[in-house]
Amino acid sequence: MTAPVRSDILEDLDQFRSDVRSWLEQNCPESQRQPMTPDQQYWGGRRGSFPSDDARLWFERMRDRGWIAPEWPEAYGGGGLSPQQAKIVAEEMKGINARKPLLGLGLWMLGPALLEYGNEEQKQQHLRAIVNGELRWCQGYSEPGSGSDLASLQCKAEDMGDHFLVNGSKIWTTKADECDWIFCLVRTDPDAKKQKGISFLLIDMDDPGISTSPIELISGESEFCQTFFDNVKVPKENLVGELNKGWSVAKALLVHERKLMSEIGSDSPRQILTPNEAARQYLEFKDGKIADAELRGRITDYDMRMQAVALTHFRTFEEKINKVRSPAPLIMKYVGTEAEKTKSELLLAILGSRGVGWEGEGFTEAELDTTRLWAMSYAMTIAGGTSEVQLNVVAKNVLELPQHKES
């Protein structure tokens, strides 16, 4: 049971909401209240550029207000807000369709992990730089042969006294060729059992010995790279947490990654139709109902499921505020990304032949986006831990089912 919230706190939050609303009204440029296409996003970094003057203005105002990272401490460039206040900022931004002024793995994943595991020097060096959009980060977890079984990773870092010497490679490193730094899992004790010999390192992509090679996708695009480390010298102070205890940092970071992905549907960067909107636009109606009974049933089923997902998100938030330990967050990556996949499948079924375009003329932007996001929805059930692996996590940690023992 969650504790009741005191009425004076609720009144403060009401006042806060009204302040946030009027600040956003005055400071969010009209052009930044539109759905965002990929070329309108700002990811920061040494090579990053603002897509427009308004995007820069919006970013600068949010940065100065501390709302790029509302919950981070003010000492590191954050807003120092409580989770309830940060939620209000997010809700009010969503209410006016305000764009996210800065995107990035530094903001979403590394920053929260550094707040928990980084030392003071690391927090000072990296957190404000992330909030200021100075550096763009990528994630060096997966390796050829070590994806789901991440703890089997082989990229090694040898202790050379005053530095580590890193050799090996990482794969599926999203946008490695556009990033400035990489947070990396490396093997520092080859003799220890799997998880026990792993450390968490921060590496400057400009260091000698690092190279990236793009991996071309079926779409012709290439957002992934293989990243190679050839005798890369990494200063000792770039070790986060303790030597050989990087697995704890890795898992904490994955919690943030999975939470982000679980909310992907409710936070879509592009304007795509909801199944109900698409139905009104593309389907025949009879007696006030969708004529196709099968699609009608699927849409109703989807609506009910999404209400349950929204309520569970709300529940996990309330549990976090009230410091109630609950296994609910563990199911959310699976639930959120599978729901998004179901939505995309449903949209394609509703769009029929209008949902098979990829590029070119003859289709609206919304139709092309729907098809592309359908493909992306499958990728989201893989990235950050596949759905099958998430189900294993649920079986073990939520349902506490007996585990298969390796002989």
Ligand X SMILES: Cc1cc2nc3c(=O)[nH]c(=O)nc-3n(C[C@H](O)[C@H](O)[C@H](O)COP(=O)(O)OP(=O)(O)OC[C@H]3O[C@@H](n4cnc5c(N)ncnc54)[C@H](O)[C@@H]3O)c2cc1C
Residues that bind ligand X (CB under 6 A): 138-142, 147-148, 170, 172-174, 379, 382-383, 385-386, 388-389, 392
Q: What is the 3-state secondary structure (H, E, C) of 93-150?
A: HHHCCCCCCCCCHHHHHHHHHHHHHCCHHHHHHHHHHHHCCCCCEEEECCECCECCCH
CA 265 to chain centroid = 12
Task: Indicate the pairing of strand 224-235 with strand 285-286.
Answer: unpaired
Looking at the DSSP bridge assignments, the partners of residue 228 are 169, 211
Closer to ligand X by Cβ: residue 83 or 145: 145
Closer to ligand X by Cβ: residue 325 or 405: 405
User: In this structure, how many other beta carbons lie within 10 angstroms of the beta carbon of residue 224?
Assistant: 20
Smallest separation, CB 191 to ligand X (Å): 24
Q: How deeply is 240 buried, as exposed, middle or buried, from its count of CB atoms within 10 A (0-12, 13-18, 19+)?
A: buried
Q: Residue with structure tokens 């400035």?
A: 180
Smallest separation, CB 140 to ligand X (Å): 6
Closer to ligand X by Cβ: residue 382 or 398: 382
Smallest separation, CB 200 to ligand X (Å): 13
Closer to ligand X by Cβ: residue 20 or 107: 107
Closer to ligand X by Cβ: residue 176 or 350: 176
Q: Residue with structure tokens 């549907």?
A: 265
Residue with CB nearest ligand X? 147
| Contact (Cβ atoms closer than 8 angstroms) between residue 197 and residue 189 | yes
The SS3 of residue 275 is helix
> What sign has the CA pseudo-torsion 380, 383, 387, 390?
negative
Q: Which residues contact 32 (CB under 8 A, 6 or more apart)?
A: 54, 55, 58, 98, 99, 101
Smallest separation, CB 346 to ligand X (Å): 21
CA dihedral 105, 111, 112, 116 (to 10 degrees): 140
Closer to ligand X by Cβ: residue 76 or 334: 334
Cα-based distances in Å from 217 to 4, 225, 261, 397 = 51, 11, 21, 35
Smallest separation, CB 253 to ligand X (Å): 11
Smallest separation, CB 292 to ligand X (Å): 32
Smallest separation, CB 181 to ligand X (Å): 13
Closer to ligand X by Cβ: residue 314 or 358: 358
Smallest separation, CB 390 to ligand X (Å): 9
Closer to ligand X by Cβ: residue 37 or 174: 174
